[in-house]
Structure 1
C-alpha cells in the first residue's frame, strides 16, 4: 500500500511539474509573441518606418532621474548635480556605502512594474537617459570619485582615462559593467510590452554643456575642451569608444529604436571659448556616425542641436562630414514655448517651435522627433500633444517620476534629506512603484488631449465636493483660469501658484483649517470658474453651502449654477474673513448626472469645499 501511495504521490508531483512547465512555456510563448511586432526601424524621407515599411510614430516617456540624478527631480536643488550629491554624502559616509546606496537606488527607482505601467497607458517607447560612468569598472569609477571629491584630482583622472583608453580597458566588459546590465533589463522589460527603447547618453564623458545638473560635468564643457598629455580631446575619444561598444553589443537588436548620441549640448558659444557655430558638435557627430556605421550598424541615430537640443547650424545633413547620411533623425526639446501652429522662430535652424520643426523636416527630408517635452501645465501638455499628433510628429514626455512631482506620471512622496540615513531609506522606499501615486490628470492630458470633461473623482450627492476636485479636462471646458500655461522660458511664475495637488492653472494650496480636507482653491480671479460632474441617485432637494475664507481686504463674491443655466445662489464674503461655512442657496436635482459650476464674480475667496445637504428625504 505504501508503494501504491508513493506511486500516486510521484504521479501527482509529475502532473504538477508538467502543468508548471506548460504554464511557464505558455508564458514564454506569450512574451515571445508580444515581442514579435518590434522590428528594426529605418528612415525614408521624412518618415520613420518599421521592417514592413509601415510608419512608426514614437510617443513615449523619459525615465529621467534614474541612471542620472538631476537634482530638481529629487528635490535637492541646492546640490545642483549628481556629483555634488555624492560629494556631500562622502563627507559623512565611506565610499563603499555611497556606492551601495546608488546600487540600491538604481535597482528600485525603475523596475519592470514601472515599465508595465507605462505600457498600460498606451505609450510605445521609453527613452533611457544614462550616465557614462555606469560603463566604468569599479576601479575606474573610484578614480572619478576622487576627482569629484577634490578638483586637484581631475587632471590625474583625465590621465588615467587616457591610459585606459590606449590600453583598450574602457567599456569592454559588456557582461559585467552595470550600464550594459541595466540597458539589458530595460530592453527585456520593454520588449515584453511591445515598447521600443531610445538609448540616450545623457551625461557624456567630460560634460556636453555648461549646465552641471544635466550633464553632471565636473568642469563645464570639458567634452569640447579638455586635452590629455598627448594633446587629444580625450573625452571625445571616450565618447566615440563608448558608442562603439554600445553599437557592437546592440547593432542587431530591433528593440532599440534610436541611438541618441549626446543629450542637450549647450553653452557652445564664443564667450565660452568655442567656435560658436556648432562646428565642434558637427565634427563629433560625424565621428560617431562613422564608428557606428563601420560596424554595419544601421540603427537610426538621433542628433541633438546646440542650445539644449534645438539649434542646428552646421548640423544639417549637407554639413556633416560623413558619407553616411541614411537613417538620420533630428530632435527638438520643447519647454516653456508656444504650441500654436503659426508660432515660429526667425532662425529656421532653431526648431523647438512646431512650425520650424515641421518646416525643417520638409526642407531637409528627415524625420523629426521631440525627445523631451513637459515641465508645464496639463493644458500645455494637451495642446502640445494635440498639435504634434496632428503634424504626425512623435514626442517623449519628461519625465516618468519625480519627488513631489505634479508634472510627471508618478509622484514620489517627500523623504527628508538624502544626506541622512533616514532620508535615504525613505527615498528608496518612496520611489518604489508600489509606493508612488499616479498623477491621473497628467496621464489624461498626454493620452486623451481632446477628451470631453469627466469627473476627477466620483461626486455622489448628497455629499461634500472638495473644491480642488474639479473636473478632469481642458481649459475652457473643465475650468477657466487666467494663467494656465507657461509659454515664455523667462517667466518662472508657476501656473499653479500654490504648487499643490494638481497640475492645471487652477491655484491650489495646502491649508490647515480643521474643517477642510488639506487643500483649497486660492488666488481666484474674476471670470475664473470650476466645473464639477455630480451624480444624484434620486430626485432630492438640497441646501448648498461652502467652506471658505477671504484674506483679501475687499469683498469677494462667488456664484453657483447647475447644468449651465439654473442659478443656485450668490455668496458674498467680506474682506478679512477667516474660515467659515456659508449658505449658497437651495436647489432640487433630478436623478442622474449634473454639472455644478462655481464662478468668481469678485476675487479674493479661498474655497475648501462645496456641500450638498438634503433638505427632505428623497422622493
Structure 2
C-alpha cells in the first residue's frame, strides 16, 4: 500500500491542477471544454468512511440514474414481452434492414437524454448522475454488426466469441477515439459539469452478461461473463471487460467530473446452483483484475464495487479479502428495493448490506465509503422513508429512474407510444421521450427532496369551486393522507401500493375514469380510517352546498368533511347497485370563513370511488339528489 503522505500528495496535485486550469482558462490560453477544464469540479477520493473533495470536504452524492437510455430495459419502455434490448433488436431485424435499426437506435440515444434533462435534474437540487451504459457502444460498426448477427440465432454466438478473441488478440477493441460510447460519455460530462454535477460511470451491461436476468445485462447466454471460454480456453469476456476499463481509465483518469467508476452493475445468481462457487470467488478474482488494471493506468478514481445478489452481498469482497495491490479509493455499493427502511431492520449476514443498519455497520466496520447506487421503484412514502433513513446516516444515494413510459414512479413520465415494433410506435417513442414532451412527477420530487413533515398544495384549489379528489396535498402518509397500504417493504409481496397506478405515486389508490362530467381520475378503494387533506382558499365567506361524486361500495359508506378541526358535514352512500351507478350526494355546510384552510376528507365507512368535491354558494344551488 502507498503511504498516507503519498496519498495526500496525489490529491494536492489534483488541487494544483484545478487552480492551474482556472488560470489558463481565464487567460484565454485554454478552451473551456479542453481536458484540463474538467478540473473545475474538484476531484473526489475516499478518506476512511467518507467521500471528500480535494480540500478534504465531505461530499454526499445524491442524484438520479439515467437508465433506459444507453441500455434499454424492457419494463422502462413497457415492452416486457420482449424482455431485453437484444430481443427488441431481434424483433426489429425481422422487419427492417440492420442499417435502419441502427439508425433508429442512434435517434433514440439522441432524444432520450439531452442537456435539458440534466439541467432539470440540477434544478431539483441533485448533485450527481449515474450513467448506465452497454459495452456494445464501444464496438465499431463492423464489430456491432457481428453482435447483431448473434442476436438472430444462437448458433452465431460462438462465431461472435471467435471474432471477439481475434479482435482482442489484435488489439482492435475499444481503440478508436471517436466511438459512440466515448462521445456519449463526453456529452454527459459536459452537460453535468455545466451544472456542477458529478458523473458515475456504470458498466450496466458487461461483455457476456454478469447474471441471468437479460433485461438487466442484455446477455445472449446467461452468466457468459463468468463461464464462456474461447478456443484458447480463456475467459474471453472477462479479458474484454478488463480491456474496456483500461481504455476508459486511460481516457478519463485526469477527469474530476467523474466521481466514481461502477465496475460491474448488479452481478447476480453467481452460486453453486449455476455451477459457480458459493462464496463469490469468481467475482472477487475479476474485481482484483479490474482494480489493478485501472490503477495501472495511473487512475486514482474511486472504484465502486457491487456485491453478488443484485449488488448487495460481499462475502470474500471485503477489503481484507480483496487481492489487489492498491486498496485506496474503494467504495461499496448497495441497491435498495422493496425492503424495510426502519433503523432496527437488519440482516443476520453482515455482508448483506441493502438494509440501512447493515449498510452503516459495514461502513463503520471496514472504514470505507458506502453508497446506494440504485433505489426506487416503490411509492413516494417508501422513497421519503428511504431518503430520510439514508440521510440520517449521511449515506449518499442515486434514485432509479429518471424516465419511464406511463409511470408515476419515475422523475419524468413518458407518454405511451404504442409498439416499438411498428413505424408509428417508433416515431411516437422518439417524440415522447424528449424532455419537452415528458411530464414531471412533482410528487416524486417532493418525496426525495422534502422533510418528513412537509406538506404543500398539489394544485391550486378554491372554494367556491370543484376539487378533484386526486388533487390532495403533497406529503408523506400521516401528513397529507392516510392509506391502508402505502409502501412495499417485502420483495415477496407484490401488493400494489396504488391500486390503479394512475396519476400519482402515493399509497392513495387512483384510477382513470371516464365518468361523464367528472375528473379524469378518481380515488378508489376508500377504506374506513383513511383520509385525504386538501389545501383550499375560501375566497368568499358564507354558507355552501357541498356535493360529492361517488361510486358506492357493496356496503353502505360514509364520508365526512372537516375544515381544520371543525366538521362541516357528511354524506352516506347507499349499497352499490348492480349497475354500479355514480351518485351525487349533497349536504348543507356550516358557514365557511375566508382564508387558507385544510379541508380533510375522512372515510368512516368504505366507498368504492370518489371523483370530486364541489362547493357552491347555498343561494345558487339546492341540495342535489342521487
Please state which band the TM-score falls in when normalised by the shorter chain: over 0.9
Deviation at 1:30? 12
Q: Tell me the equivalent position of 1:244.
A: 246
Secondary structure at the residue paired with 1:105?
helix
Deviations 1:440-499 (A, max 9, x none): 000000011334211100001111000011110010110000100000001112100111
- How many residues end up aligned between the 2 structures? 589
Deviation at 1:32? 12
Deviations 1:72-125 (A, max 9, x none): 000000100000000011111111110000000000100000000000000000
Deviations 1:517-563 (A, max 9, x none): 2111111111011110000223232111101111x321111111110
Secondary structure at the residue paired with 1:531?
strand
* Residue 578 (str. 1) matches residue 581 (str. 2): yes
| 8 Å CA contact retained: 2:548, 2:585 | yes
Q: Tell me the equivalent position of 1:355.
A: 357
Q: Distance in 2 between matches of 1:33 and 1:276?
A: 45
Which runs of 5 or more structure 1 residues have no equivalent in the other structure?
Answer: 1-24
Q: Distance in 2 between matches of 1:147 and 1:30?
A: 39
| 8 Å CA contact retained: 2:63, 2:399 | yes
Map of 1:401-480 to 2, 5 A cutoff? Answer: 401-480=403-482
Deviation at 1:602? 1.1
Secondary structure at the residue paired with 2:353?
coil
TM-score (norm 1): 0.93
Q: Tell me the equivalent position of 1:92.
A: 95
Q: Tell me the equivalent position of 2:68.
A: 65
Q: Distance in 2 between matches of 1:584 and 1:446?
A: 39
Map of 1:314-329 to 2, 5 A cutoff? Answer: 314-329=316-331
Which runs of 5 or more structure 2 residues have no equivalent in the other structure?
Answer: 1-27, 621-626
Q: Tell me the equivalent position of 1:400.
A: 402
Q: Tell me the equivalent position of 2:148.
A: 145
| 8 Å CA contact retained: 2:304, 2:332 | yes
> Of the candidates 529, 536, 541, which is equivalent to residue 543 of structure 2?
541
TM-score (norm 2): 0.92
Q: Tell me the equivalent position of 1:382.
A: 384
Q: Tell me the equivalent position of 1:203.
A: 205
Moved more, 280-289 or 533-542: 533-542
Q: 1:327 to 1:465 in 2, by over 3 A?
A: same
Q: Distance in 2 between matches of 1:162 and 1:273?
A: 24
Q: Tell me the equivalent position of 1:277.
A: 279
| 8 Å CA contact retained: 2:414, 2:432 | yes
Q: Tell me the equivalent position of 1:288.
A: 290
> Of the candidates 215, 218, 222, which is equivalent to residue 216 of structure 1?
218
Deviations 1:405-452 (A, max 9, x none): 111100000000000000000000000000000000000000113342
Q: Tell me the equivalent position of 1:261.
A: 263
Deviation at 1:36? 6.6
Secondary structure at the residue paired with 1:179?
helix
Q: Distance in 1 between matches of 2:590 and 2:126?
A: 44
Secondary structure at the residue paired with 2:248?
helix
Moved more, 602-611 or 116-125: 602-611
Deviation at 1:33? 13
Q: Distance in 1 between matches of 2:294 and 2:49?
A: 22
Q: Tell me the equivalent position of 2:500.
A: 498
| 8 Å CA contact retained: 1:562, 1:568 | no
Deviations 1:342-385 (A, max 9, x none): 10000000000000000000000000000000000000000110
Q: Distance in 1 between matches of 2:38 and 2:441?
A: 28
Deviation at 1:38? 1.4
Runs of 4+ in 1 over 4 A off after TM superposition: 28-37
Secondary structure at the residue paired with 2:590?
strand
| 8 Å CA contact retained: 2:62, 2:398 | yes
> Of the candidates 591, 597, 603, which is equivalent to residue 594 of structure 1?
597
